[in-house]
Amino acid sequence: MAEDAAAPKLIVGFFSLNLCQIKSESLTAAEAKKLPCDVAGIRLGRLAVAKEYQRQGIGKTLLVAAMGKFIEIFNTAGGIGFFVDAKDQEAKRYYEQFGFVPMSSNELELFLPVKTIQEALTSHH
């Protein structure tokens, strides 16, 4: 490391996104009936905040940033929505407050339709 290099930046949180394939029958019936049987989406791989920075709204900031990044990818690659695997019921409730809905195949796998994200992001500007 160069002597004049800036101090290492503290990482308080991060997220990762992955393209994914979903069977439409695992979505709600209303969503599934207008879709082909295999649909593309974007999965929130991980969203984590360092222990000492939890409960300060950083997760929400990261989730909003992830949604913004989702829209960028969506505009290029398409897809039907944003998926997340909640690690437990508490995480599930956390995502539900942002409009994520549990999938019929696995209630800890949640889905946020593109339209919901577009509306959320335009109402915050």
What's the CA gap between 71 and 30, in Å, rounded? Answer: 22
Going along the chain from its start, the domains and CATH numbers come out as 17-44+67-123 (3.40.630.30)
Q: Cα(25)–Cα(2) distance, rounded to whole angstroms?
A: 54
CB-CB contact of 79 with 41 (8 Å): yes
pLDDT of residue 124: 54
The whole-model pTM stands at: 0.76
- Mean per-residue pLDDT, 79-105: 90
Express each pLDDT in 6-33 by its tens digit. 666 778 999 999 988 888 777 777 777 7
Rounded Cα distance, 95 and 86, in Å: 8
Which residue type sits at 26?
A: S
Question: Is the pLDDT confidence value at 98 over 60?
Answer: yes
pLDDT bracket for residue 116 (50, 70, 90):
confident
